[in-house]
Amino acid sequence: MYYTIYKTTNQINGKIYIGSHKTEDLDDDYLGSGKYLKYAIEKHGIKNFTKEILYIFDNSEDMFAKEAEIVNEDFLAEENTYNLKVGGYGGFDYLNSNTFDNPTHSKTHMKMMHKAGEGKRDVRLSWLFEHDTEFKTNHKTKVGKAVRKFYANGGVNGFSNKVHSDETKKKISDSCKGIGAGSNNSQYGTCWIHNNTVSKKIKKEYIDRYLSDGWHKGRKINF
């Protein structure tokens, strides 16, 4: 098995996509699963895209570490990339390990780690569905059992006809306050601008200067 970092290039406009890929065949036709990349392939045709293997590893940890090193926030801010998210999702595998037990983590710290990793775990699951047949099969089996159990129970979930107590509602409300707001938002203090040709992310403190130079607020995507 090969664990690779690859670069897919649009030969028409030079835009690139860098990703990680687990494969038994280095010459397979996999170009990437990025949303914008797929739009571009649909628009320009697969014949106008080429793939280059940049690195080959013998384990997923090194592969994800290299992806995180390359596909960072600065890389995403470049105008010639199709990537939408930072790389390196394998780094959160330890949170799901059965052997992970660190009593030094406070509840607050654990909550912060969960918040930081939940979106990346979603992406990790998507990656597993696409690349790991055994995982995909086992997942479908578990989901199937849950669905059959649900309908065997008359299609009623366990919380049906129940309500949260006022105390529980308050706990839920308190736990959600501040999440994704202000400086807790990863995009805090930044914004996208474009000049009808290219887009880039800048700090909001510079917005007036760019607007006076003819830039516009928002992101313009060229596929």
Per-residue pLDDT of the chain (223 residues; tens, 9 = 90+): 899 999 999 999 999 999 999 999 888 889 998 888 988 998 899 999 999 999 999 888 888 988 988 988 888 888 889 988 888 764 443 333 343 444 444 445 455 555 555 555 555 566 666 666 776 777 677 777 777 776 676 655 555 666 777 887 777 777 666 655 666 666 678 888 888 777 777 888 888 888 888 888 887 666 5
**Which two structure tokens, joined as six digits, stand for 132?**
């790991």
Calpha distance 149→155 (Å, rounded): 9
pLDDT at 3: 92
pLDDT at 90: 47
pLDDT at 159: 57
HSE, side-chain direction, 13 A CA sphere, residue 139: 10
pTM value is 0.46
pLDDT at 128: 63
Domains of the chain, CATH where assigned: 2-131 (3.40.1440.10)
Give, rounded to a whole angstrom, the gap between the first and last alpha carbons of the chain. Answer: 32
**Which two structure tokens, joined as six digits, stand for 87?**
């790389």
Look at residues 70, 90, 89 and name the one whose alpha carbon lies nearest to residue 81: 70
Calpha distance 71→83 (Å, rounded): 8
